[in-house]
Amino acid sequence: MSLPLEGLSAVVTGAGRGLGRAEALELARLGAAVVVNDHGEGSRAAAEQVVDEIRTAGGRATAHLGDIADHAAARALIDLAVTAHGRLDILVNNAGILRDRMVFSMTEDEWDAVIRVHLKGHFNTTRFAAAHWRARSKAAGAPVHGRIVNTSSEAFLAGSAGQPNYAAAKGGIVGLTTSTAHALARYGVTCNAICPRARTRMTADVFGAAPEPAPGSGAPDPLAPEHVAPLVAYLASPAAATVNGQLLVVHGGMVAVMERPRVAAVFGTAKEVFTYEELDTRLTPYYADRPRDETFAATEVLALRHRL
């Protein structure tokens, strides 16, 4: 019996540690050849260690060291997958950084750095992967297997107060996801986003250390990256061909499918053009009847749990 990703080639960014590492290992376990990308201090050793783990288990893997927020480096990453493994079928955009601060204290560099790595990084790899799939589809005269899994965050959904740069970048990634899903569907490519909650080096200050499991329970850490990786592998597989343009929250044995925004109310002017006075008489009573803390943010997502 063949593995679900057998014969497919994948790129995972930020795959030397944490979520990216778990995702790369799971894709390889299910048969994919993986390009393990990482960047920053210790990236060479981290990426090569993941490659060694995959090869030791009988899989195929190649390391790539480069900053995916750099346009040329992102092109080289996609080209490497095609050169090393014959083609590209799966792109998992995971790489990211944090520069947390309240909006009134944030520096321009802290804003730019996070937007660059998360949002521009997602665009860069997507741009070159999309061109590859479009060319393959046109040459074949038929759709191809192309899968993009982007990484958003609950910080975007809930409006994390101390992460304006991160929340903005992750919101932008959702917009990029839905746009890409529409643009590439005709070529057989799907694009989805996940909002993972995981205990990694990047989130150590947010979630702290893993709890000690109860004696004899064998219960996994509810925030272990291994809870997220299977969903990424599923979205990358042929089985998920009809899943496109979706946003899913995942952690601790739970997957929640987020619903798209819906229109709550519509106001039409009684005249040809709205005036301030008319808006005052229509909108002020409407908002007076709504809870003051009810905004566009979906803070209830933070309370989602699955008891392991």
Catalytic residues: 153, 166, 170
C-alpha to C-alpha distances, 72 to 34, 121, 156, 199, nearest whole angstrom: 20, 11, 28, 31
Helix (H, G, I), strand (E, B) or coil at 37: strand
Alpha carbons 39 and 36: distance in angstroms, whole number: 10
Q: In what order do the strands lie in the sheet with 90-92?
A: 61-65, 33-38, 9-12, 90-92, 146-151, 189-196, 247-251, 254-257
Helix (H, G, I), strand (E, B) or coil at 191: strand
Q: Specify which residues 35 forms β-bridges with.
A: 11, 62
* CB within 8 Å of 206: residues ≥ 6 apart: none
Helix (H, G, I), strand (E, B) or coil at 262: coil
Q: Measure the N-to-C terminal CA separation of the chain; round to a whole number of Å.
A: 31
Which runs of consecutive H residues, i.e. helices, occur in 141-243? 154-158, 164-184, 204-207, 229-236
Q: How many CA atoms lie within 13 A of 22 on its CB side?
A: 17
